[in-house]
Structure 1
Amino acid sequence: MNLKPDEYIKNRLDDQINWYDKKSATQKKCYYWSKVVTLICTASIPVISVAFRHQSFTVIVTALIAAIATVTEGILTLTKWHEKWIAYRSNAEALKREEYSYLTSSGAYSELNDDEKFHTLVDRTEDIISNENTNWASLGKKKGKSI
């Protein structure tokens, strides 16, 4: 496959940047919502316990709320939304930095001819993407061994 620089930027680099941006935003929302649920649940337990201390339903309600908080934290731990959010955001920003450096002929691209610039862009971009894939693959292997 012989891509021109504009084709590579549009079809590969920009596509990957958009994918990482969207995934990062999704992971961030999931992380925030799970933390909000956990915070509301854990903060409400003492309030309900004191405000309704003489009611028979208080024990059941506080136990249910504690269970919801525990499950939410467990889901957060299992899904690793926070870690994914940070990793996806970091990759999106690293890819953007490569694209801008390439387009402005700065940094690693400052003293290269057009062919060298393009090949350097491809190499550096694919390294970023490959490293991210390798990091997640190794995380999956670690999880598999510990189970």
Structure 2
Amino acid sequence: MEKEEYMNERLNQQIDWYDDKSIKHQRIYKCWKIAQIILSATIPFAAGYIDSIKVLSVVVGVMGVIVTSIEGILTMGKYHENWIEYRRICETLKHEKYMFLTGTGVYKNEASFPNLVERVESVISQENVNWAALNYEDNTKNGGKING
């Protein structure tokens, strides 16, 4: 595979994929977290009016259930962890790309392209190993159920 082909078909696509996933997980995390914060802050306020507005006791209870459910969704989806990890990988790949393009660091010598490929594939491979380990750990905690 030639340099240009590798840069376009592998490295740039991986950078774009991790960037898109990081942005997606950040948005999901922040939306759910904002909803959780607003509901959590509203519960004590609404609870102060339970004596005068009886239906508020049910509303406050439902709000508590929703706050707890949101936390469960965020924990199960690992949106915060994925956002941070995908951003870290994206920035690491960008760093390698720019060091290669400028011929600096480990990319000063003639074997710079093979070094780039090895380092980029190592980053991607390590992320895949981490993902598999996390899913294996989750799988064993859930009694053998498969996680997607």
Q: Which structure's relative contact order is higher, taking Cα pairs within 8 Å and 6+ residues apart?
A: 1
Give the aligned partner of residue 85 of structure 1: 83
Question: Of the candidates 138, 143, 146, which is equivalent to residue 141 of structure 2?
Answer: 146
**What's the CA shift for 1:146?**
1.4
Residue in 1 aligned with 2:44? 46
Partner deviation per Cα, 1:80-130 (whole Å, 9 max, x = no partner) = 0000000100000000000000000111112x11xx111110000000000
Structure 1 residues not aligned, in runs of 5+:
none
Q: What pairs up with 1:1-147 in 2 under 5 angstroms?
A: 3-110=1-108, 112-113=109-110, 116-147=111-142
Contact 2:50–2:57 (8 Å) recurs in 1: no
Which segments of structure 1 move beyond 6 Å, counting only runs of 4 or more?
none
Alpha-carbon distance in 1 for matches of 2:22, 2:11: 16
SS across alignment from 1:131 = helix
Displacement of 1:56: 1.3
Alignment RMSD: 0.8
Deviation at 1:52, TM superposition (A): 4.4
* Count of aligned pairs: 142
Q: Aligned to 2:48, what secondary structure does the other structure show?
A: helix
Q: The residue matched to 1:39 in structure 2 has which SS?
A: helix
Cα displacement string for residues 34-88 of structure 1 (whole angstroms, at most 9, x for unaligned residues)? 1111101110001111134321101100001111111101000000000000010
TM-score by length of structure 2 reads 0.93
CA distance in 2, matches of 1:89, 1:70: 27
Identity rate of aligned residues, in percent? 38
| TM-score (norm. length: structure 1) | 0.94
Matched residue type, 1:53: D
Q: Which SS does the other structure have where 1:56 is aligned?
A: coil
- Report the Cα distance in structure 2 between the residues aligned to 1:119 and 1:44, rounded to whole angstroms: 57
